[in-house]
Chain A
Amino acid sequence: MTDISTSHRRLSPGTKAGLAFFARYATILGLIAMIVAFSLLSPRAFPTLLNFTNVLNQASLAIIIASGLTMAVIVGELDLSVGFAASLHGILVTGLIVATGLPIPVAILVVLAVGALVGLVNGLVVTKLKVNSVIATLGIGTILTGLAFAYSAGVPIVSGVPEAFLEISLGRWLWGIPNNIVVMAVVVVALWVLVERTSIGQEIQAVGGNPAAARLAGISVDRIKILGFVISGMCAALTGILLASRLGSGTASAADGYLLTAFAAVFLGSATLRDGEFHILGTVIGALVIAVGFNGLNIFGAPTFSQYMLQGGILIVAVGLSSLGRSIAER
């Protein structure tokens, strides 16, 4: 934040504007470039409505969990528990339906409430016990993994999952649009409105920008931070539910991989359109970049290891772009 610590090279105003443009639009340009390249390379398989719908459908779960994570990072904290939480929630929802015999809507509501509870615990540990959020959520996330194994006794819940539950993720109830996409759109719009257009959103942004000043302006910083964690927890729960529905089973580590995807999307998004500032729309674009990249790799039959390399690479490029944007903004 301080000028004193920022060292940088001399930049002409032109170069600076160019760099700022690059940092802000690199993600979108990258997305367009990928779409164009894949379309040219694979004109039959890639640029079809079916494939685009497919990509968006696949990306929906990542977008939901990443949008939740965005809420935690906007208030200035990290939530490393989202992937583990989603895995637990997947098992929990299938277990509640199959083993406990709860009606599907009730099971879903219960799991969403558990997701909120996990977020509440994260938030309380961070704000009241004053544990650094990286440590707190890593610890809670590990505990959640333990709970997932305990609940399922280490065995995936596969048999007895009712068709109706699978139908949630597979169905197209509105105008033939896959349900996942509809749910994702609702979550994204709701969170975008919350952050950008409501008074709570202003407080959220203030807490993320300068917690000390926000506190002295009369904002209850702890409550806002807890709210960020709760929303993050609920989005993780939603992702876990949809994933279990898509897979037709509950597995103790099914959603763990979403952690990295979500972080890559969030940081890539913070470098998009704004100068290193986390925001929902950016996260959506970031998640799309990753989804399109994966889809391309799949179409060309790239080996599995390349997906990991792409994801890790994107994460680093994303954080790099994000801090580039911020340092330009501060000059």
Chain B
Amino acid sequence: MHGTAAAGAASNPETGAPRRLFLSAQGIAKAYGGVKALNGVSLALREGEVHGLVGANGAGKSTLIKILAGLTAADAGRITIDGAPVTIAAPHEASALGMSFIHQELAFIPEMSVIENIMLGLPKPSRLGFIDWRAIARDIAPIAERVGLNTPFHAKARSLSTAEAWLVNICRALVRKSRLLVMDEPTASLSAREAERLLAIVEDLSRSGVAVLYVSHRLDEILRLCHSVTAFRDGESVADLSGDALTRERLMEAIVGGNVETMPAEARANHDRGTVALKVRGLARAPMVRGVDFELHHGEVLGIGGLVGAGRSELARLVYGADRPHEGAMELAGKPYAPSSPTAAVRSGLGFVPEERRSEGLILTKSVAFNMQLANLANIVRSPALPLIDTRKRRSQTEAIVKSLAVKTPDTETTVGRLSGGNQQKVVIGRWLLRRPNILILDEPTRGVDVGARGEIHRLIREIAAEGMAVMVISSEPDELPDLCDRILVMVEGRITRELTGEDMTRNAIVSASYASAA
């Protein structure tokens, strides 16, 4: 197996020594129901290598990771570690083989302390039959320092920020002496500064010989970090890129299949702003929202930019009635508006696409049709007095939206949990297209969504705005808003500090405004 590491990219850039193959997966196939998630993919990981895994949502990345983690079983294929064939039937077997997994939705026990979470499931030294936490803390301290985890060990895990939670999980992996760390979209919910810190840690891990499988939609990060990259498309591995071949163009081509959809310029060419749909005055709910004023017009896409934790999602929750403001007032089309619940907000003509689509957007065990029709039930009953569902209407309406959004699903009765992230997001958006609210708020609409679906979702947002809907989009990706919005507000520490329009709507303007008074 030493002889296999011959290619240029497979050698260590610092020592020039060839890297040893750690893990190889070949011909992995997996189908859910009738849907092929993986159709014979292959992947080779070398020690100390940062290996990127890219692909559109639904391309099969998550499925492969689940197979490696022992969470699901492959239908076919072969996995070897250090050249020896292995079977991974359960998560603990994956960790025994030296693999650690950090998923998008981080798993830890909120009521336990940081140190207890780090040591969860690991053998702990004891004295006189009691766990010797002092010795453990002594052992862990250097590891925590190495990854920059400054939180006190005894702090409860639920008080951790997303970034700190990532660090705790990385500590766990290092304490386990993992040889491979699999990270799924690590920077998706981190601020730019936190993401930078995480990238540095990944580089450090790689130098010390730990292999990292880095799954991300952010091509900048992939290009910067990864020694080699495997691209998946429609359940197949379509490219293995390294060295000079590893370029943005080649990556895009591999992911999308040569057809990148971009926003047609005329779609948002100088249309008039309509009347005021929503007026917000002095809205506050300390500590996250501290006095916000803005107006949202019919027919416009208003972007809300800023760092994670600036209070944008919290602002959306206030407008949507999910939380009650402590101060301030709102008006809908000139009339006072104080929603007591999301139900009241929906009745007043609002819609909301939440940030966490799996936990807050969807009923995962139910079908596509069920999820899409959830806000539209009044329109598919036979009569208001006898609310029997008209199943024909239900199906035809759902099918029309599935078609127009190009949701990839075998049929409208497929369980929504079986769809990929991008398609799940389209289902949540489809729910509101059916209901046609006057105001639609979308929180991170393209987070964890692939390049192709992202373009489609953007086009969709422009279309509904063009039809007169007032749209508010929250995004942490500075690149996203300038393409999409007519106007951008930047939030810093619970206040709107900047309004950007026209030529001023640039990535740099958003980033600098985001950091302006936060520093």
A residues adjacent to B (C-beta < 8 A): 1-13, 193, 197-203, 205-206, 209-210, 212-220, 277, 329-331
Contact = CB atoms under 8 A, between A and B. Distances in A.
Given A198-B381, A218-B342, A212 B374 contact: no
A198 B378 CA distance: 10
Nearest to A215: B342
A277 B66 contact: no
Nearest to A201: B389
A202 B105 contact: no
A1 B346 CA distance: 28
B365 A329 contact: yes
B73 A11 contact: yes
A199 B377 contact: yes
Given A6-B71, A198-B388, A215-B342, A203 B377 contact: yes
B71 A216 contact: no
Interface in B356-377: 359-366, 370, 373-375, 377
Q: Is the interface of B mostly helix, strand, loop or mixed?
A: loop
B5 interface: no
Contacts of B354: 213, 216
A302 B221 CA distance: 72
A252 B458 CA distance: 65
A2 B417 CA distance: 11
- Interface bracket on B: 35 or more
B363 A213 contact: yes
Contact of B73 (A10, A213, A215): A10
Contact of B71 (A4, A13, A197, A214): A4
Nearest to B432: A217
Nearest to A12: B73
B387 interface: yes
Contacts of A8: 90
A331 B387 contact: no
Contacts, number: 106
A2 B364 CA distance: 11
Contact of A218 (B346, B360, B381): B346
Contacts of B364: 1, 209-210
Interface of B: 31, 66, 70-73, 75, 87, 89-92, 103, 105, 107, 320, 322, 341-343, 345-347, 352, 354, 359-366, 370, 373-375, 377-378, 380-381, 387-389, 417, 431
24 contacts: A1-B364, A4-B91, A4-B107, A7-B70, A7-B92, A10-B87, A198-B389, A199-B381, A200-B387, A202-B370, A205-B363, A206-B366, A209-B365, A210-B359, A210-B363, A214-B363, A215-B341, A215-B342, A215-B343, A216-B354, A217-B374, A217-B431, A218-B347, A219-B343
Given A199-B381, A277-B365, 5 more contacts: A10-B73, A10-B89, A10-B90, A209-B365, A210-B362
A201 B381 CA distance: 12
B362 A213 contact: yes
Contacts of A331: 72
Most buried by A among B342, B365, B373: B365
B378 A199 contact: yes
Contact of B389 (A3, A13, A199, A210): A199
A4 B380 contact: no
Nearest to A196: B389
Contact of B387 (A1, A199, A217): A199
A7 B364 CA distance: 19
- Please provide the 3 A-B residue pairs with the shortest distance between their CB atoms, ordered closest to farther: A218-B346, A209-B363, A199-B377
A198 B387 contact: yes
Contacts of B347: 218
A164 B447 CA distance: 67
A219 B375 CA distance: 8
A21 to B, nearest CB: 15
